[in-house]
Amino acid sequence: MFTNSITSRVLCPLILTGAVLACGSISRYEEENIEGLSLCLEMFREETGRYPPQDKGLCALVCAGYLQRLPTDSWGRPYVYVFPGQKNPEKFDLYSRGEDGISMSQGDDPDDINNWNTDKPWRRYYALRQKGITWTTVLLISVGLLCVVIVFSLYLLFRKKTRRE
């Protein structure tokens, strides 16, 4: 599937960067990050024939050039990579320890966000805790301000040009 390593190495950072733009809450942002990292791990397996070993973890993606740096979750903590997975025995487990940074259940705490639980119970946890502005709102405000700056700059440029003539 992804035999061109240059394409893979360009695609992985774009996927992870796009995660910020595509979601509206911390839990969805983390879900997108975990999906992006999972895709990078799948590309690594496609090219090398195996997933990174447990002792190398996600650092193997950095060393192989798939990522520029080791990713952290929204709270600045590293993701947990387990291979072979306890929940995904044929693949790997990947999760964030969540807001409190502690996982008493290897990724199944109410605030942990993982790659195996399709019910996504953490969404309810974070929905109850979410306050104020979401990522989407911040993005829309930023884009709006950028548009205002561009339009104003074009106006000043046009006005300056018109005065010279």
Instruction: Enter the pTM of the model.
Output: 0.64
Superfamily of domain 5-131 in CATH is Glycoprotein, Type 4 Pilin (3.30.700.10)
* 61-75 tens-digit pLDDT: 999 988 888 888 888
CA distance 40 to 108: 23
pLDDT of 83 over the 90 cut: yes
* 119-163 tens-digit pLDDT: 887 887 777 666 544 555 656 667 776 776 787 677 777 777 777
Return contacts of 96-103, CB within 8 angstroms, 24+ apart.
96/30, 96/33, 96/34, 97/73, 98/73, 98/122, 99/75, 99/126, 99/129, 101/75, 101/77
Residue-wise DSSP of 101-156: T--SSSS-STT-EESS-TT-THHHHHHHH--S--HHHHHHHHHHHHHHHHHHHHHH
